[in-house]
Amino acid sequence: MNNYLDLSINELHELLVSGEIKPKDLVLEAFERIENNKDLNAFITLDKEGAIKRAKELENMDKSSILYGIPIAIKDNITTKGLRTTCASHMLENFIPVYDATVIEKVNESGMIIVGKTNMDEFAMGSTSQTSYFGAPKNPWDKTRISGGSSGGSASCVAARLTPIALGSDTGGSIRQPASYCGLVGMKPTYGRISRHGLIAFASSLDQIGPMTRNVYENALVLNTLVGYDKRDITSAKRETEDFTRLIGTDIKGMKIAVPNYFMSDIVDEEIKTNVNNVISLLKKHGAKVDFIDIAHLEHAVTLYQIIAMGEASSNLARFDGIRYGYSADAKNIDDLYEQSRALGFGREVKRRIMVGSYLLSGDNANVYYTKALEIRAAMKKSFDEAFKNYDLIIGPTTTTTAYHLGEGMDDPRKTFLDDVLVIPVNMAGLPGMNIPIGFNKSHMPIGMHIIGNKFEEAKMYALGAFIEKELQLNLEVGEHHE
Amino acid sequence: MNNYKKTIGIEVHCELKTATKMFSDSLNSYDGKENSHINAIDLAYPGTLPLINFGAVHVALKAALLLNCDINKEMVFDRKNYFYPDLPKGYQITQARKPIGTNGYVMINVDGEEKKVRIHDIHIEEDTAKSIHSGEKSYLDFNRSGVPLIEIVTEPDMHTEEEAMAYLHKLRELFIYADISDCKMEEGSMRCDVNVSVSKDDTLGVRTETKNIGSISSVGRAIKAESKRQIEVLENGESIREETRRFDEKDEVTILMRVKETGNDYRYFPEPNIPTIYLDDEDVEAARKDIPKMPDELRSEYQNLGVNENNIKTLIGNRELCNFFEKVKQSDPVITSNLLTGDILSYLNKNNLTLKDIKLTVDHIIDLVSKLKTNELSSKQVKNLLPVLMEKGGNVKTWMDTMGMVQINDESALKAMIEQVLKENKESVTDYKNGHDRALKYLMGQIMKVSKGQANPATVNRLLVDTLEHFDLNK
C-alpha cells in the first residue's frame, strides 16, 4: 500500500500536477485507511462511489488549485446535496439534503474530494461526541479515550491521517477542543468569516465552520478557500480577499502577547500549564513580549453558554416536527405527532438542552436570564476589545485536561461543559481561536495551546502558530494507525 | 344597559405587495398551483438562513409614514416561538422589540366629525403557510409561507362600531392608494382582530379578542354582538374573562375559542441570523417620495376641478380608474370623469375587465376630448367610438373615417335639414312658440337623427333657434 496521504499538501500537489499520481489514487488510499480504521467510528456516512466518480472527473480538469485532488471529510451537520446528513441524530437518520452548503460549493470549486460525513455529538451538542446516535468516535492516540466534541469524528479522521483535512463546526469549542485532544490544528475563524448557509444550526449567534488539519500552514490554505461573503448568510462578512499563509515565517520579535490569568488558574491540569509555560519561555526567548492580564467575566463563560446556546437551540430545533422531513412518528393527531416524533427522534442530551433552553426563554425568565446573559456577553467582548488595543494575540491552554476515557463524565451533564470553559469565551466574543499541539502528557495524550486573535486577524494567529510548530518539531504521527 | 361605554382596539395584518417573500427570494404570488412558489427557506429546511427583502422594508416604511409614525431606523428582528403545522420553522420572525414604526395616528371621519385614532405600532413579520383541511386529511400550501406582512396595532381609541369600521375603511383606502397592500379581506390579504371591552365608567373593562373577521361590515357586527354579550354577562353579576373568540356570521354571535391564560408564552428572543440593519435618511426619503397623492387630497382637488360628488366617489373607490383619470384630467376634468365613470366603467364591469385588459389609452381620451371641444365629434359619436377603441385600439381619426363619422358643419346643408324637420313637426314648433322648451330638445333630436348623428350639435342649436324665430307655420 502507498502512503501518499502522509505527504504534505504541497508535496501531493506536485505529484498530482506532474501526473505521477491521480486524484483517484488518493481517494482509494483514503478508503483503504478508513477501512483499516473502522474501529475509530470516525464516519457516519461514506461516499466511496461518489468520491471515485469525482476523482475521475477531476482528471481532466484544471489542476492549479493547491487543494486539487485532496480528500476531505465533512462534519455531518453540514448539508451535502444528495449525500445523507444526519447530525448524528435518529431524527435525521435518513435525511438527504436538497442543496449543498456554501462551504461544500467552495470545497468542490477548489477541487477537493469529499469522502464522507464524520461522526459528532448529536446536533453538535456535547464535548465528547458520545451523544452521537451512531456511537462515539475514538481517539486514535488511545482508542479507550474520547476524541472530544462535538467535531470528534473529524478530529479522529485527521489525527489517524485518514484524510489530511476535515471540516468541523465550533459553537463553544467544538473544533478546538477535539483538535487539542487529538493533536491537530483546528481553527474557529471570526464569526462571519465563513458562511453558515447549510450548517445545521445549533446556536446561530455562536456557530462557525472551520478547518481541522495536520499542521498550521495547511489549515491556512484551507481557510483561504472557505471564506467570503455569502448573500445566503447575511451575518457573513464582506472582506477583501487575503492569503492567510502570508505572515507564516515572519519574525515574532516584538510581538505582544497576553495570557489571561484565569486561563492559567488552578482549573487547569499542572502538566498542561507546564507545557504552556514552556512555550511562553520560548516566545520570550525569541523576543516576544508576554504579559499576564485579566479579562472580565471569563469565569461566567459556561453559564453564559448554557443560557445563550440552549435558548437559541430550543428555537433552532423546533423545525424538527415530523411534518416535512426527518423522523416522523405514527401519530393520532398533530400534538401526538409533535410529541412522539421529538420524544423518539431526539436523544437525551438534545432533549435536555431544548427543555432547559425553552425554560430560560419562558415568560420573565427571558429577562432574568437571557437578556442578562447578553449584557455580560457584551461586557466580556468589550474586555477582549480592550486587551487587543495593547496586544497582538492572546494565548493559553485550549483545555483544562487531556482526552479522558470513554464513558467518563456521562453521568454528570454539567461536567462536560466545564471542559469548554477556556474555549467558549471566543465564541461569545465572535473572535477567531485556534488550537495547536504543543506536547504530550505522561500518558502520551496530546496537549494543545489556544491562540486567540482579534476579529479578522487569523493571519497573525497562523504566523504565531507556525512559529511554535516549527520550534517544537513534535512528532504527531500516531504511528501504527494504518498498518 | 345604555350607560356602558365600549372601548375598541384593532390589530390588522396586511400582506405587502412585493415581488418576493420577506426572508426568501421565492415569489410572493398566489398564481399557479399549491406549493409552486416555495424553496428550502420557505420550508425551513435544515441549514437555511433568512435573507432580507429590502423591497418589503421599503413598502413597510411607506405604511409607517402614512400612519404618521416615528421611524425606528435601527432595524432588528425577533423570534416568536410556537408550534403549529403552518409554521415550518417553529417560530415566526417578527419585530417585537423595535417595530419599524411607533407613535402614529390616522384621522377618521364619522358623521362629519374628524377623530384621531392613535397607532401604537406597525411592525414587519412573515405570513404562515396555509392549512387546507379535507375530510380526515390536512394539507399544507407553503406559497403563503414567508409572505411579507405588516401588523398595525391601534391604541384603544375607538368607542363605536362606526368608528371601528371607519378606521378600517381609512386604512384600506390608504394602503390601496399607496400600493402597500391590495387589502382584500375576503382573500385574506387584510386580516383583522378586534379587542373589545365595556365599562360604565372611565376605567377600562376586561377585554376579549375576536379574531379573523371576514369583512369590514362584519367587524361592526362582531363588535355589536360581543359588546352586547359582555354587557349581559356583567348585568348578570358575572365578570368577563380574557378570551379569544370568533364571530359567527350566521347567528351574529361571538364564540369562545380559548381562554387566555397568563399570557401566551411565545419565548421571544432576538433573531440571531439577522444582524441589526441601519436604515438611513435616504431610505426613509425614498419611501416618502414613493407615496402618491392620497384620497383626502385627491377629493378636495377634484371638488375644486368641478367634478361631481358621485364621480369623485367612484374614482376614489377605484384605484386603477383614478390613476387613469390623473393622466387625462388636464384635458377636461368634467368630461373625462364622466367618460371614465360612465361608459368606460360600465363596459369594464359588464365584461369583467380591468383597464389593463383593454386597448383604450390616455391619448385616445385626450384626442376624443379635444375633438369634442372643437365639435369635430358629437358626444353621441364619442359614445359610439369608445367600445371600438376599448376593444380594438387604433387611431381615433381612422375609426371616424371607417365609421363614417364626418361632422356636418356646412350651414346651408344644416339649414335644409332643419327646414325639413320643422315642416314635418309643426306641432312641436307650435309648442315651442307657446313657450314649451322641451320641444326644442325634441326637434334637436330629430335633426340629429336625420343627419345620422353627423350634424354639429352646437351649430344646429344656434341655427335651429334662429330658424324657429322666423318659421312660418302656414308655409
Q: Give domain status of residue A285, yes or no.
A: no
**CB atoms B47 and A79 under 8 Å:** yes
CB B247 within 8 A of CB B225: yes
Q: Residue A481: what pLDDT?
A: 41
Residue A378 has pLDDT above 50, yes or no: yes
Place of cell 481561536: A433
Contact call for B48 and A98, based on CB within 8 A: no
Contacts made by residues A380-385, CB under 8 angstroms, sequence distance 24+: A380/A295, A380/A296, A380/A297, A380/A298, A380/A300, A380/A301, A380/A304, A380/A425, A380/A428, A380/A429, A381/A428, A381/A429, A381/A430, A382/A296, A383/A295, A383/A296, A383/A297, A384/A295, A384/A425, A384/A429, A384/A431, A384/A452
Q: Which of B48, B52, B93 to mutate to test the interface with A (most CBs of A within 10 A)?
A: B48
- Of the candidates B97, B129, B102, which has an alpha carbon nearest to the alpha carbon of residue B26? B129
Minimal Cβ distance to A204: which of B43, B268, B272 = B272
> Closest partner residue to B43 among A200, A311, A324, by Cβ?
A324
Cell triple for residue B336? Answer: 373625462
**Section A84-94 average pLDDT:** 98
pLDDT number for residue B371: 87
User: Confidence band (pLDDT; 50, 70, 90) for A413?
Assistant: low
How many contacts (CB atoms, under 8 Å) link A and B?
99
B126-144 pLDDT per residue, tens: 999 999 999 888 999 999 9
User: Does residue A299 lie in a domain region?
Assistant: no
The pLDDT of residue B403 is 87
- Give yes or no: A75 in active site: yes
Pick the range with the lowest mean pLDDT from A44-48, A251-255, B294-298. B294-298
Secondary structure, 3-state, chain A: CCCHHHCCHHHHHHHHHHCCCCHHHHHHHHHHHHHHCHHHCCEEEECHHHHHHHHHHHHCCCCCCCCCCCEEEEECCECECCECCCCCCHHHCCCCCCCCCHHHHHHHHCCCEEEEEECCCHHHCCCCCCCCCCCCCEECCEEEEECCCCCHHHHHHHHCCCCCEEEEECCCCCCHHHHHHHCCEEEECCCCCCCCCCECCCCCCCCCEEEEECCHHHHHHHHHHHCCCECCECCCCCCCCCCCCCCCCCCCCCCEEEEEHHHHCCCCCHHHHHHHHHHHHHHHHCCCEEEEECCCCHHHHHHHHHHHHHHHHHHHHHHCCCCCCCCCCCCCCHHHHHHHHHHHHCCHHHHHHHHHHHHHHCCCHHHHHHHHHHHHHHHHHHHHHHHHHHCCEEEEECCCCCCCECCCCCCCHHHHHHHCCCCHHHHHHCCCEEEEEEEECCCCCEEEEEEEECCCCHHHHHHHHHHHHHHHCCCCCCCHHHC
**A312 within a domain of the structure (yes/no):** no
- Inter-chain CB proximity A319 and B140 less than 8 Å: no
What's the pLDDT at A410?
A: 66
| Nearest in space to B100 (alpha carbons), one of B60, B68, B66, B67 | B60
Residues of chain B neighbouring A362 (CB-CB closer than 8 A): 265, 267
Asked whether B176 and B62 are in contact (CB, 8 A), the reply is: no
Domain that holds residue A444: 4-252+423-482
pLDDT score of B376:
79
Q: Which range is least confidently modeled, A411-415, A440-444, B166-170, B418-422?
A: A411-415
Considering A89, A127, A174, A341, which one is annotated as catalytic? A174
Cα-based distances in Å from B389 to B343, B349, B367: 12, 16, 12
Q: What's the first-to-final CA gap in chain B, in angstroms?
A: 82
The pLDDT of residue A168 is 98
Query: Can you read off the three cell numbers belonging to residue A476?
Result: 504527531
For residues B101-119, give the mean pLDDT.
96
Task: Please check whether residue B276 touches A, CB under 8 A.
Answer: no
- Mean pLDDT score, B59-72: 98
Is the predicted pLDDT of residue A480 greater than 70, yes or no? Answer: no
pLDDT over threshold 90, residue B65: yes
Taking residues A468-482, what's their average pLDDT?
84
Query: CB neighbours of B97 closer than 8 A, spacing ≥ 6?
Result: B76, B78, B270
Question: Residues A195-206: what's their mean pLDDT?
Answer: 98
Which cell is A338 given?
A: 409533535
The answer to whether position A330 is within a domain reads: no
Are residues A323 and B51, on separate chains, in Cβ contact within 8 Å? no
In a domain, A470, yes or no: yes
Domains belonging to chain B, first-starting first, are 7-201+264-281 (no CATH), 293-402 (no CATH), 411-470 (1.10.10.410)
State whether B46 and A79 contact (CB < 8 Å): yes
Mean pLDDT for chain B overall: 92
Q: What is the pLDDT of residues B79-95, one digit of tens each?
A: 999 999 999 999 999 99
User: Which pLDDT band holds residue B1 (cuts at 50, 70, 90)?
Assistant: low
| Per-residue pLDDT tens digits for A379-409 | 999 999 999 999 999 999 999 999 999 988 6
Nearest-CA distance B104 → chain A (Å):
28
C-alpha distance from A389 to closest chain B C-alpha (Å): 25
Kindly state whether B206 is in contact with chain A, defined as any CB-CB distance less than 8 angstroms: no
On chain A, the residues whose CB falls within 8 A of the CB of B97 are none
Mean pLDDT lowest among A70-74, B69-73, B245-249: B245-249
Active site annotation includes A204: no
Position B460 confidence tier, pLDDT thresholds 50, 70, 90: confident
Q: What is the pLDDT of residue B136?
A: 86
pLDDT at B196 over 60: yes
- CB contacts, 8 Å: A79 with chain B: 46-47
Query: Which residue among A235, A323, A370 places its CB closest to the CB of B269?
Result: A370
Answer yes or no: do A234 and B90 touch at CB < 8 A: no
Instruction: Evaluate if residue A1 carries a pLDDT over 80.
Output: no
Which of A86, A234, A427 has the most B C-beta neighbours within 10 Å, making it the best mutation to test the interface with B? A234
Rg (CA), chain A: 21
Per-residue pLDDT, averaged over A298-308, amounts to 94
| Cell numbers placing B252 | 351574529
pLDDT over 90 (residue B444) = no
pLDDT mean over B309-322: 90
Contact criterion met (CB < 8 Å) for B49 and A362: no
Which chain B residues are closer than 8 Å to A203 by Cβ?
Answer: 272
Mean pLDDT of B230-248: 94
Query: By CA distance, what is B43's nearest residue in A?
Result: A324
Query: Any idea what the CATH number is for the domain that residue A182 is in?
Result: 3.90.1300.10
CB contact under 8 A, B90 and A366: no
For residue A147, indicate whether it is catalytic. Answer: no
Arithmetic mean of pLDDT, A8-22: 97
pLDDT at A482 (0 to 100): 41
Look at A111 and B373; give whichever has higher pLDDT: A111
Considering only residues A351 and B372, tell me which one the structure prediction assigns the higher pLDDT: A351
User: Mean pLDDT in chain A?
Assistant: 96
- Shortest Cα distance, chain B CAs vs residue A225, angstroms: 20
For A325, the closest chain B residue by CA position comes to B45
Looking up cell 477541487 gives A111
Task: Say how many C-beta atoms besides its own lie within 10 A of residue B375's C-beta.
Answer: 13
Does some domain include residue A95?
yes
Q: Note the pTM of the prediction, 2 decimals.
A: 0.88
Longest dimension (CA), chain A: 71
**Per-residue confidence band for B453, with pLDDT thresholds at 50, 70 and 90:** confident
CA A329 – CA A286 distance, rounded (Å): 62
pLDDT tens digits along B179-189: 999 999 888 99
Distance CA A367, CA A363 (A): 8
| Domains: count for chain A | 1
What's the pLDDT score for residue A483? 38
pLDDT of residue A476: 95
Catalytic annotation, pick one of A110, A150, A151, A156: A150
- The angle formed by the CA atoms of residues B342, B343 and B349, to the nearest 5 degrees, is 90
User: Rounded mean pLDDT of A278-288?
Assistant: 98
DSSP letter assigned to residue B37: S
Residue A92 within any structural domain of the chain: yes
Task: Calculate ∠ Cα B96-B98-B104, nearest 5°.
Answer: 105
